[in-house]
Chain A
Amino acid sequence: MSEPIGIEIRNLYKIFGARPLDYVDAVRRGMTKTELNQKHRHVLGLRDINISVEPGTIQVIMGLSGSGKSTLIRHINRLIEPTAGEIVIDGQDVVAMSPAELREFRRHKTAMVFQKFALLPHRTVLDNVAYGLEVQGVAQAQRHRAAMNWIERVGLAGYESRYPSQLSGGMQQRVGLARALANDAPILLMDEAYSALDPLIRYDMQTVLLDLQKEFRKTIIFITHDFDEALRIGDRIALLRDGSIIQEGTGQEMVLQPADDYVSSFVQHVDRAKVVQVASVMQPLTAEAQGPAIPGRANLGEAIRMMSAEGVDRLTVLDQAGRAVGLVPMTRAVAVAAGGS
């Protein structure tokens, strides 16, 4: 199993058009997307993207359609050439790689899952899952063994000799996931991987991903336009609008301290009781800790349910070592859960 590696994106710009390099400086100086489009007929894809993804974490990139999120994820394995900037992975700048280096990098360091699955329709499930290994030059017996293993892990045992068109959307995306995992790459790129699935199947697939992640600790970039999905999957979330990152942080940070009205409008319908952790709203410990206690990582909903069940109006908050570090009164828990601050 490969060690997790981080991703460092620095000052990344992407301008679409005939002569993108001519306009980078103007965009750096603050030319807007509208001005660039109307005056110069170039489209601003990404503006000054800086993201640092810790090894072994899930970074969600969120945005509505046209925000540039699919453009951004395609820069990480350079399916799209950046106009300026660097992407450093494992000490190497992806932008500076030669075609041969890039091919090796794609074979061993990254694997990708696509929105519309992008399976090979003329190949069986087994040969689809083995594709990455085949490209690497792994012998057939060995790659089929590895592929079978992953087919079982994603719950498709018995379907290995079917063709993609014989499977439902959810099952096809399991094939897509198995194909990506079979590569044994430390970085997993998921481009709206679950957006085409219906809600129940989507929830199942999120669970599959989170379970696998506990075991394999990949560095995952996960693109979505669904904030609930972002909150459930992401260790951190970056919100993209018109090619710029508006806010980057944990889901809780976004809910409690939205950077601007745009972020607020995104998070206003979120069920805060499920997202906000007790530790982030607790008050200092006054005198002796007493009454029932709750871990700081529990959410407000759990705290409120516990207080009602126990018939108390405050809980002692514990840190990960089990020490009392604060208090959370019922009034505050309810106020924050209901949308206050």
Chain B
Amino acid sequence: MLDWMNRFPQMNEETLRNLKRFIDDNFREFTRSYGAMIEGFFDPLRQMLIQAERLMLGMPWLLVLLIVGALAWAGSRSVRLMAASVLTLAAIGYFGMWEDTMRTIAMILVCTLVAICIGIPLGILMARSNRVQSGMNPVLDVMQTMPSFVYLIPVVMLLGIGRVAGMIAVVVYALPPIVRLTNLGVREVDREVIEAADAFGSSAWQKLWNVQLPLALPTIMAGVNQTIMMALAMVVIASMIGVQGLGQPVLRAISNQYFTLGLFNGFAIVGIAIIFDRISQAFGRRLQKHRGGMDV
């Protein structure tokens, strides 16, 4: 008698099976007809990834260390941070992971760049309209919470295994913070300052460029920092679909139970994450200097 309460009244199994097959068939059909076109569309990005990787691998290691040191110094004016960054990177190289690290850095740089180019304009649009904001928010929630393996399936079906599919997976995952924080930063700009810009007859573009973006910049930089961190977190998952770099040894280590290999590469990922994090935060803080009344 209580049977109907113990079993959830689910859809007829036959219908459910047909529904799944229907969607699968249609998506496969879509892949066959438009796959080449979509691959063509992403070709410039593929080229960019290859060039970035070639650049990072081709650069003499001394030059790379110099650039990282210079960036750390420019952002923080701190000898300690500069030394720590250079030493960490040097240690990673000494333990035989230089090439994989350069591949990963190239990937992260391109992904971050793409995320910034998409994310900042989206964040600005969101800040300008409440309707866009309420439309975007659930999309961003899905992007952040959907397990990446799930959207890897259609991406791999469309683009095959490789760099571009990996990049899309990384960008989808790393995009939300930059969008959200750009939106927040632009919305948080002091109302009276916006009013002043209006009162002096600024056009929408002048207001954005002279007032909103500069004042939102520290918040936007926090978004860039988060985006870099999330992109790094995706390195291992991206390696599952053929992205080369520090993720692949980790993957090998998992399947073969190579404890030390996994540990070394894991620490290398953590190491470059900390370097990127500290340097980008230092840049963000420098942008805030006029707010606290520090002497220039």
CB contacts (< 8 Å) of B192 on chain A: these are: 114-116, 118
CB contacts (< 8 Å) of A112 on chain B: these are: 196, 199-200
A118 with B198, Cβ < 8 A, contacts A163-B290, A163-B296, A165-B293 known? no
A107 with B195, Cβ < 8 A, contacts A120-B210, A121-B291, A163-B290 known? no
Nearest CB in chain A to that of B200: its residue: A132
A165 with B291, Cβ < 8 A, contacts A118-B190, A122-B215 known? yes
CB contacts (< 8 Å) of B292 on chain A: these are: 165
Q: Mark B192-232, 1 if CB is under 8 A from A, else 0.
A: 11011011111100100011001100000000000000000
Nearest CB in chain A to that of B202: its residue: A135
A104–B200 CA distance with the chains assembled, in angstroms: 9
B265 to chain A, nearest CB (A): 42
Q: Could you jot down 20 A-B contacts, CB within 8 Å? A: A77-B199, A103-B202, A106-B199, A106-B201, A107-B200, A107-B201, A111-B199, A114-B196, A118-B190, A120-B196, A120-B214, A120-B215, A121-B193, A122-B215, A132-B201, A134-B210, A135-B200, A135-B203, A163-B290, A179-B200
Are A106 and B200 neighbours in the complex by a CB distance under 8 Å? yes
Are B206 and A135 neighbours in the complex by a CB distance under 8 Å? yes
At the interface, yes or no: B13 with Cβ under 8 Å from chain A? no
Nearest CB in chain A to that of B218: its residue: A122
At the interface, yes or no: A140 with Cβ under 8 Å from chain B? no
B285 to chain A, nearest CB (A): 14
Are A79 and B290 neighbours in the complex by a CB distance under 8 Å? no
Q: How many residues of A contact B (CB 8 A)?
A: 32
At the interface, yes or no: A166 with Cβ under 8 Å from chain B? yes
Please tell me which one of the listed residues A111, A119, A122, A165 contacts residue B200 in the complex, with CB atoms under 8 A apart: A111
Interface, chain A (partner B; CB < 8 A)? 74, 77, 79, 103-108, 110-112, 114-116, 118-122, 131-132, 134-136, 163-166, 179, 183, 189
Interface, chain B (partner A; CB < 8 A)? 190, 192-193, 195-196, 198-203, 206, 210-211, 214-215, 290-293, 295-296
Nearest CB in chain B to that of A189: its residue: B199
Are B293 and A166 neighbours in the complex by a CB distance under 8 Å? yes
A331 to chain B, nearest CB (A): 52
A114–B292 CA distance with the chains assembled, in angstroms: 21
CB contacts (< 8 Å) of A110 on chain B: these are: 199
CB contacts (< 8 Å) of A74 on chain B: these are: 195
A296 to chain B, nearest CB (A): 40
With most chain A CB atoms within 10 A of its CB, the pick from B201, B210, B211, B293 is B201
Please tell me which one of the listed residues B195, B202, B214, B290 contacts residue A118 in the complex, with CB atoms under 8 A apart: B195
Nearest CB in chain A to that of B289: its residue: A163
A136–B200 CA distance with the chains assembled, in angstroms: 9
A107–B199 CA distance with the chains assembled, in angstroms: 8
A122–B290 CA distance with the chains assembled, in angstroms: 6
Nearest CB in chain A to that of B193: its residue: A118
A164–B199 CA distance with the chains assembled, in angstroms: 19
A167 to chain B, nearest CB (A): 9
A165 with B290, Cβ < 8 A, contacts A114-B196, A116-B192, A120-B193 known? yes
Nearest CB in chain A to that of B203: its residue: A103
A158–B206 CA distance with the chains assembled, in angstroms: 28
CB contacts (< 8 Å) of B215 on chain A: these are: 120-122
Nearest CB in chain A to that of B191: its residue: A118
Please tell me which one of the listed residues B195, B201, B296 contacts residue A104 in the complex, with CB atoms under 8 A apart: B201
A134–B206 CA distance with the chains assembled, in angstroms: 10
A45 to chain B, nearest CB (A): 16
B291 to chain A, nearest CB (A): 6
Nearest CB in chain A to that of B211: its residue: A120
A135 with B201, Cβ < 8 A, contacts A114-B192, A118-B190, A165-B290 known? yes
Please tell me which one of the listed residues A108, A122, A163 contacts residue B214 in the complex, with CB atoms under 8 A apart: A122
Interface contacts beyond A108-B201, A111-B200, A163-B290: sample of 6 additional A-B pairs, CB < 8 Å, sorted by A: A105-B201, A107-B201, A112-B196, A121-B193, A134-B210, A163-B293
CB contacts (< 8 Å) of A119 on chain B: these are: 193, 196
B150 to chain A, nearest CB (A): 42
CB contacts (< 8 Å) of A121 on chain B: these are: 193, 215, 290-291
